[in-house]
Structure 1
Amino acid sequence: MEPIRPCHRTGGFGFRKFARVLLACSLLAFCYSPVEAAGDSAALDGIHEHFTEELQKYVGEGLVDYKRWRQHPEGIKKYLDELQALSPEQYRAMPEDGKKALWINAYNAFTIWLVLKNYPIQATSKFYPASSIRQVKGFWEDNFISVGGQKVSLEQIEHNVLRRDVQDPRFHFAVVPGSLGGARLGRVAYSSRGIANRLARATREYLGNEQNVRVDTANNTVYVTQLFRWFPLDFAEGTDLVKRFPPPTDDEIVVDFLRRSGPAGLRSRLERKEGDPPFKVIYEPYDWSLNEIDCSR
């Protein structure tokens, strides 16, 4: 666009008219951006509401109706397009809570989009459930989305952004990797408003589900999902053991995190008296079955 140059005073086009034209152009540029102002979390939260609209159509009790959603993918595609329109400048100006909500939603929406592209999933491996996303080659590594100028795969969102930059272990219970072993998908997208409380609630819900965590007090044993074996050091940030020497074991980190972050019932079962032996931790198999409504058990 050519810059507007003020005309000579002759012809009646004075400074005030020029200022009005310049203001009008500025307003047009402002309205064009899907995020109305750089770093405006409220505007971005408005975009996330488009994701909420889709979730409420196709999600129930944490599971997804992929079969029906596949017939109408235009809504989630529009939402992903809106995320991809976010400029690097807008992203850099966002507050941390806004970025956290953005990446959680981007991960969840992009996962859904990739499942829809590959649905119904064709079984190619005997090592995973027939409907699992593990049957789709390169699901995490070979598909990319651009957000705020960053071209990323699902793997990069998880490891390079959420684990490295966000460093809030509770995100593990907010991102939904398309499997029954992961977190249940909510019917409301994340937003910058109240995200700390939302993450705390998601964590309690996941840890309070006995399919993910259960305590055998009689045998002094805690059974947990493999998620905790894969990322034990992530959970050290939420414990009292970070600065301890000698360093804590992975099992100690996991139990301490459960004791601090779980629901009240779980915390009470994990209480120990001085001199009590430590809990034994057993890491149970992760359920890679697709998190679709037809798989509800």
Structure 2
Amino acid sequence: MANNLKFLSSYHSGATNLFSYSRVSKKDLNQLKGYINELVNLDPNTLTRAQQKAYWINLYNAKTVDLILDNYPVKSITKLGKGFFSFGPWDDKTLTINNKELSLNDIEHRILRPIYNDARIHYAVNCASYSYPNLAAQAYTVENMDQLLDKGAEHYINHPRGVSIKNNKLTLSSIYSWYQIDFGEDEKALIKHLTDYAKPGLKAALDVIKGKIEYDYNWDLNELK
């Protein structure tokens, strides 16, 4: 089933993997919906632990793209959601697996984060916003999992969307504030995580940075216009 997402690569921009939602053909949209249907009709309990990790990441990302396309054009994913006061669709029960209704938040916060305890998950699941890590141009598999997770971490940390240093002031994506516990127990551990993936210039700057960390996030759609 991993090959069923190959068509998504034709809608990526390259460096930052912005996505050209407006160009997705009806044929490819139907292919995406077919792929999601295959996943929800597969019992994840029949998969190995490693296969389940790829399964949940792929399902999360595919459903996120599907939600955007079903509501396109939209300025931000935060405009979606069934509740009057909803901030995005993440709590909506949009998937049914083994006769159980699940939301995107269920997948991320009740399955992926607690079960796998892998901070790199945040570089894999994509929330269709400009400041979020890249939407991978291929499906996750057991074989490519670690490579794609490391690649996602390296790209994001070395891009201003993730880490920016100007005038000795460190600004990080708000992801590192919202989920700091996943990256370590304190800011020192967080900086260690960043330096593990930072290129030499950024790593040197992080080694000497002082002062309060600031956080920022842009919820605009990750759209290639």
TM tier relative to shorter chain: 0.7 to 0.9
Among 186, 190, 195, the alignment partner of 1:259 is 195
Secondary structure at 2:207 match in 1: coil
Secondary structure in 1 matching 2:181 = helix
Residue pair 2:171, 2:216 contacting (<8 A) in 1 also? no
Tell me the equivalent position of 2:137. Answer: 187
Indicate the residue corresponding to 2:224 in structure 1.
Answer: 293
1:136-175 equivalences under 5 Å are 136-138=80-82, 139-147=89-97, 150-175=100-125
Match of 2:86 in 1: none
- The Cα of 1:261 is off from its aligned counterpart by 3.2
Q: Distance in 2 between matches of 1:257 and 1:149?
A: 39
- The separation in 2 between residues aligned to 1:173 and 1:204, in whole angstroms, is 9
Are residues 1:102 and 2:52 paired?
no
Contact kept? 1:223, 1:282, Cα under 8 Å: yes
Name 1:134's counterpart in structure 2: 78
Q: TM-score, normalised to structure 2's length?
A: 0.87
Q: Unmatched 5+ residue regions in structure 1?
A: 1-46, 122-130, 237-247, 273-277
Which letter maps to 2:172? V
Cα deviation digits, residues 241-290 of structure 1 (max 9, x gap): xxxxxxx5x32232121122333432232235xxxxx7324333211000
Q: Does 1:60 align with 2:20?
A: no
In the alignment, the residues of structure 2 paired with residue 253 and residue 143 of structure 1 have an alpha-carbon distance, to the nearest angstrom, of 35
Superimposed CA distance per residue, residues 5-64 of structure 1 (whole angstroms, 9 cap, x where no aligned partner): xxxxxxxxxxxxxxxxxxxxxxxxxxxxxxxxxxxxxxxxxx011012x21232222111
Match of 2:41? Answer: 85
Query: How far apart, in 2, do the equivalents of 1:232 and 1:291 lie?
Result: 23
The two structures, once aligned, show a CA RMSD in angstroms of 2.0
What is the CA–CA distance in structure 2 between the aligned matches of 1:196 and 1:162, rounded to whole Å?
15
Aligned to 1:48: 2
How many angstroms does 1:76 deviate by?
Answer: 0.2
- Deviation of 1:292 (Å): 1.0
Q: Is 1:211 aligned with 2:170?
A: no
Residues 178-216 of structure 1 show CA distances to partners (whole Å, capped at 9, x for unaligned) of 100101222211111031122111100000002320234
For 1:260 and 1:55, how far apart are their aligned partners in 2?
A: 30
**Unpaired runs of 5+ in structure 2?**
83-88
State the partner residue of 1:198.
Answer: 148
2:112–2:121 CA contact under 8 A, matched in 1: yes
TM score, norm. by length of structure 1 = 0.67
Task: Return the alpha-carbon distance in structure 2 between the equivalents of residues 83 and 120 of structure 1.
Answer: 26
Residue 170 (structure 2) aligns with: 222
Based on CA coordinates, which of the two structures has the bigger radius of gyration?
1
Instruction: Write the distance in 2 (CA, Å) between the matches of 1:190 and 1:79.
Output: 14
Q: CA deviation at 1:70?
A: 5.9
Assess if the C-alpha contact under 8 Å between 2:2 and 2:141 holds in 1.
yes
The count of residues paired between Structure 1 and Structure 2 equals 216
